[in-house]
Amino acid sequence: QKEVEQDPGPLSVPEGAIVSLNCTYSNSAFQYFMWYRQYSRKGPELLMYTYSSGNKEDGRFTAQVDKSSKYISLFIRDSQPSDSATYLCAMSASGTGGFKTIFGAGTRLFVKA
């Protein structure tokens, strides 16, 4: 079983739709959960981070973590064409030297105008 699993998509939605992106993981030691956005041929850009279980909201973005199910989600409300990118879930465990982060494969999102 892969340490982090993420559906690569692509996911295509109309402008204004609510987008749901998800990852599952197998390592129960993960405590820090992040979502990155990556535009083509660019480095990943941090969108959200969450510690342990719970929800976190930032503007149109909401991150959810369910540690009991080993499942994390990112919701994008009122999606815009500029949200078209690859979204990477990422996670790390405490106690690991330098907080090595493991990434999912990324989900490609297309938001159509």
Nearest partner of 23 among 38, 3, 43, judged by Cα: 3
Could you write out the three-class secondary structure of 7-37? CCCCEEEECCCCEEEEEEECCCCEEEEEEEE
Distance in Å, CB of 43 to other proteins, minimum: 3
How many residues of this chain interact with other proteins, rule: CB under 8 A? 27
Q: Does 18 bind other proteins (CB under 8 A)?
A: no
Residue 12 forms beta bridges with which residues?
110
CB of 65 or CB of 88, closer to other proteins:
88
- Contact positions with other proteins (CB under 8 A) in 79-108: 88, 90, 92, 94, 96-106
Phi–psi pair at 73, nearest 5 degrees: -135, 155
Could you say which of 15, 45, 58, 66 contacts other proteins (CB under 8 A)? 45
> Interface residues with other proteins (CB under 8 A)?
31-32, 34, 36, 41-46, 49, 51, 88, 90, 92, 94, 96-106
